[in-house]
Amino acid sequence: MSRAASTWLSEAVAVFTKDWRCELRTRYALNTVLLFALTTLVVVSVALGPLGADQQARGAVLPMLLWLILLFAAAAGLPRVFGHEEEKHTATALRLAATPSALFAGKLAFSLVLFFAIEALTAPLFLAMMQLPVAHPGRFVAALAAGGYGLAAASTLVAAIVGQARGQSTLFAVLSFPVLLPLLLLAIAATRAAVLGGDAGAELTQLVLYDASMTIVGLMLFPVIWNP
């Protein structure tokens, strides 16, 4: 590995470890986002009940509700990835210390781990509380992984934009939802297919395509967003 690549990687890893160390000290994001996901899950579950939805409609409706819970959990937690750097005035130090693209990679890795953890806790609980059998568990996990990656990547990028603006939390929802909606529709279609036992190949390919384009555009745009 060349020297430049190894410093880039070590910078990204340093950002990632720094963020997790801060996070584990306060557990702010983990606690709030997880509790947010749990609360919405309980609300949905109570409102709908295990027998609330019509048997035929369950396979179509419940995957959508799962993704809505995940979307709002992401909107509750992920803007903080950059928000707290600006709030605590540590952003300038980060600007001086790290290569922008490495910083983005580190932040993206942080969001990914956080979001996958939330998915890993929310999704099984959702399936259990809703008593929703999954026809293809493998495809279900693939849909969650591909959808979750895109959700975390796009949210991280939008969080970087919103971090420098006023009214962060409302603005985040306004800016990120149009970007996330195509992903969400694809993810819902893929999850629905996994639950009902249909073919999700095309949707999963398109999800991976979305993930890849978000990662590439993130690495290219982030230096512009980050550096005045």
Partner 1 sequence: MRRILPWLLWLWLALVIWAAFFYAPLAEGFVGQSSRILFFHVPMAWVSFVAFLAAGAWSIRFLAGGRRERDDHAAEAAVQLGLLFCVLATVTGAIWAKVMWGAYWNWDPRQTSIVLAMLFYAAYLALRTAVEEPEARRRLAAAYAVLGLVVAPFLFFVLPRLTFSLHPDTVVNTRGRVEMESRMLQVLAASSLAFTVLFFWIHRIQVRLKARAERALPGRTTP
Chain residues binding partner 1 by CB under 8 A are: 157-158, 161, 164-167, 171, 174-175, 177-179, 181-183, 185-186, 189, 203, 206, 210, 213-214, 217, 221, 224-225, 228
CB pairs under 8 A, 24+ apart, for 112-117? 112/148, 112/149, 112/152, 112/153, 113/20, 114/23, 114/29, 114/30, 114/33, 114/77, 114/78, 114/152, 115/74, 115/78, 115/148, 115/151, 115/152, 116/145, 116/148, 116/152, 117/30
- Helix locations, 131-163, DSSP H: 137-162
CB of 95 to partner 1, least distance (A): 13
* CA 84 to centroid of chain Cα atoms: 17
Nearer to partner 1, 34 or 204 (CB): 204
Minimum Å gap between C-beta 174 and partner 1 is 5
Q: What is the nearest approach in angstroms of partner 1 to the Cβ of residue 220?
A: 8
Smaller CB separation from partner 1, 3 or 166: 166
CB of 154 to partner 1, least distance (A): 8
In the complex with partner 1, the residue whose CB is nearer, 105 or 193, is: 193
- Nearest CB to partner 1, comparing residues 45 and 164: 164
Smallest distance, partner 1 to C-beta of residue 44, A? 22
CA 149 – CA 208 distance, rounded (Å): 9
Minimum CB distance to partner 1 smaller for 26 or for 213: 213
Q: Where are the beta strands (DSSP E) in 21-138?
A: none
